[in-house]
Amino acid sequence: MAEAVTNNEIRANVYKLLSLCYQQPDEDLGDIVVSLAEQLCKVYLELAEPAGKLVQQLPEDAAAVQQLQVDHAKLFIGPFDLLAPPYGSVYLEEKRKVMGDTTMEVIAAYQEAGLQLDENFKEPPDHIVAELEFMYFLIFKELQGEATVSRQKRFLERYLQPWAEPFCRKIIENAATDFYKITAEITRNFIRQDLELLSR
């Protein structure tokens, strides 16, 4: 199976950059998005077009930045109607809550890989940012010579991919900006393809 997995460096970069895309938008966003587009162009040709569009959606002035920040808050932070809860357990379990049983399993997966939540990261462990970063980390380890492909596949298949679908759907349905709609589309398709790749 390991032979089937190529382009690990690009995969790692894409996971990391996607993770960064879900953080609160700041002055780094432009570079993140441009880099993401560059990375995707190299291998994921059908994602190159949306990635290009994403670059075009980058805010050009302060008002646009604020608009993006408001949209980001409404989708992923709240308050009031949290439009796209970025937490795995909300989708994977019946009760609409964080810190569910699947969250505990995700913590265990992190621990198995020698990781824990950073103390400055004030969100549940199955937050989209953390899970995308975890995939990056596993591939990074693979690049360093540690065999992690089966762990990658298991995590993606059991945890990230099943909720990334409805999560991205919620973003596409509810985002006020095209920026997040496109980000969601890229995320969903990339993760889908990556799982296929790992399952080959």
Partner 1 sequence: MKLSRRSFIKASVATGVIAAGAGGTKPMLQALAENSGKENKQVSEGEWRPTVCQGCTTWCAVQVKVVNGRAVKVRGNPHSKANNHDGKVCPRAHLSLQQVYDPDRIKTPMKRTNPKKGRNEDPQFVPITWDEAIDEIAEKFLELRKNNEPHKFVLMRGRYTYLREILYGAFPKLIGSPNSISHSALCAEAEKFGSYYTEHYWGYRDYDLRNTRYVILWGADPLASNRQVPHAMNVWGEVMDRAKVAVIDPRLSVTAAKADEWLPVIPGEDGALATAMAHVILTEGLWNKSFVGDFVDGVNRFKQGETVDPETFQENLTYGLVRWWNLELKDRTPQWAEQKAGIPAEQIIRVAREFAEAAPKAISWLSPGTSMQVRGGYAAMAAHALNGLVGSVDNVGGTIRSAKYPTQAIPSVEPFMDDIAKAGNKHHKVDQRGYKEFPALKKGKSGKGVVTNRLADAILDEDPYEVKMAIGYWNNFTFSCAGASRWEKALEKLPFFVHITTHPSEMAMFADIVLPAAHHLYERLGYIESKANTISYIAMNQRVIEPVWDVRIDETEIPWMIAEKLAEKGFTNVLDYFKSIKDPETGKTPTNSWEFSEYVLKTMTQPIWDPAIKTEGDQFSGWEEFKKVGIWNSEPYKFRNKWKDFGTKTGKFEFYSETLKAALEHHAEKHNTNVDDIMKVTKYQARGELAFVPHYEEPFRWGDEKEYPFIFVEHRSRLNREARSANCQWYQEFKDVDPGDERWDDVAKINPVDAGKLGLKTGDKIRLKSPTGEIECTAKVWEGVRPGTIVKCYGQGHWAYGRIAAKDFKKRMPRGGNNNELLPADYERLSGSTVRHGGVTRVKVEKL
Separation of alpha carbons 53 and 153, rounded Å: 29
Scanning 132-140, 157-165, 177-185, 190-198 for contacts with partner 1 by CB under 8 A, the matching segment is 132-140
Q: Give me the residues paired with residue 87 across strands.
A: 127
Task: Give the C-alpha distances (Å, rounded to integers) separating 87 from 51, 92, 132, 163, 166.
Answer: 24, 9, 12, 9, 11
Query: Which two three-digit tokens encode residue 199?
Result: 């399952």
* Residue 93 lies near partner 1 (rule: CB under 8 A): no
Candidate residues 23, 161, 177, 189; the one interacting with partner 1 per rule CB under 8 A: 23
**Least distance from partner 1 to the Cβ atom of residue 154, Å:** 17
* Residue 127 lies near partner 1 (rule: CB under 8 A): yes
Q: Could you say which residues in the range 164-193 bind partner 1, by CB under 8 A?
A: none
50 vs 88, beta carbon nearer partner 1: 88
* Residue 111 lies near partner 1 (rule: CB under 8 A): yes
Scanning 119-127, 154-162, 181-189, 190-198 for contacts with partner 1 by CB under 8 A, the matching segment is 119-127
Count of residues making up the chain = 200
Separation of alpha carbons 142 and 151, rounded Å: 10
10 vs 197, beta carbon nearer partner 1: 10
* Residue 133 lies near partner 1 (rule: CB under 8 A): yes
Separation of alpha carbons 113 and 116, rounded Å: 9
